Amino acid sequence: MASWTEDTVKVGGTELVVVKGGSGRPLLMLHDELGYPGWMSWNEALAEEREFTIPLQPGYGKTPRLEWIRSYRDLGGFYARVLREMKWSPIDVLAFSAGGYIAAEMIASDPSLFSRMMLVAPMGLKPTTGEIFDFLAVTIRTAVLQTVEDSETPEFGNIYGGEMTPEQFELFEDARTETARIGWEPFMYNPSLGYLLEGVTGVPTQLVWGDRDAVVPRGCIEAYQKAMPSATVIEIPGVGHRPEIENAEAFVKVARAFLAA
């Protein structure tokens, strides 16, 4: 696997832990509501031509909670400040699930932050049909299993298989606690976000969705399409909420094609 490092940047008196790895043009990755799962095969593949910058969300274990962050809009504002002060923007962004929610809040506020935006099964908008799965109302093991169509997928087993250590359990619960604190009501979407996204132009955007996704319904993708009509949509067949795990080859092909354009 390619080498990666953890660093700490200081912004506004806050120490934010950031994972860095790869080489080439910078790529911001925003992890999902379960936290950063570690460096995976798709990271390795894209790291051949892109340098990952992966902030570890405040309140998720390694980066301390920021009490003033009370919503995903607040969190997006914090990350926007990080990009400005670290002089990382404009930058391409690849964001997953709740990370897509964060990226959407960021671009709605300041489109100049991103050069290109790829959202994978993004939350953040109320689905036109269906509902976002309430992963806080079930055990963490059930929530994790909902993210894939096939739990026998090797990389899923490498990340989440076997007995959960006390340390891993605590990290998951930290993540769930923070997610509940900032995304509980309404559950994982912002009623005003779609209206603000309608004013965003000039940033190429792609939505990626596994057609067996049991967490984020197709209605979320349709809501993003309504707010951002120029966004393209790629559906990856036969996979769930984590296409980058279940079909890494197809996912990397899609990401390379979009991010290199």
Per-residue pLDDT of 144-188, as tens digits, reads: 999 999 999 989 888 877 666 788 888 889 999 999 999 999 999
Task: Give CA–CA dist 261/259, Å, rounded.
Answer: 6
Q: Which two tokens stand for residue 70?
A: 């009370």
What ranges do the domains of the chain cover?
4-259
Instruction: Please give the model's pTM, rounded to 2 decimal places.
Output: 0.96
Tell me the CATH number of domain 4-259, given options 3.30.750.24, 3.40.50.300, 3.40.50.1820, 3.30.379.10: 3.40.50.1820
pLDDT band at 44; cut points 50, 70, 90? very high
Q: Burial of 228 by CB count in 10 Å (0-12 exposed, 13-18 middle, 19+ buried)? A: buried
Alpha-carbon gap, residue 240 to 127, rounded angstroms: 17
Query: Mean pLDDT score of the chain, rounded to an integer?
Result: 95
* Whether pLDDT at 143 is above 70: yes
Q: How confident is the model at residue 1 (pLDDT cuts 50, 70, 90)?
A: low
Looking at the predicted structure, is the pLDDT value of residue 115 above 60?
yes
Beta-sheet strand order (sheet of 14-22): 4-11, 14-22, 50-55, 25-30, 91-96, 114-120, 205-210, 232-236
Give the mean model confidence (pLDDT) for residues 73-84.
98
Span 225-240, average pLDDT: 98
DSSP reduced 3-state for 172: helix
| Confidence (pLDDT) at 2 | 58
Distances (CA, A) of 212 to 148, 149, 239: 8, 6, 5
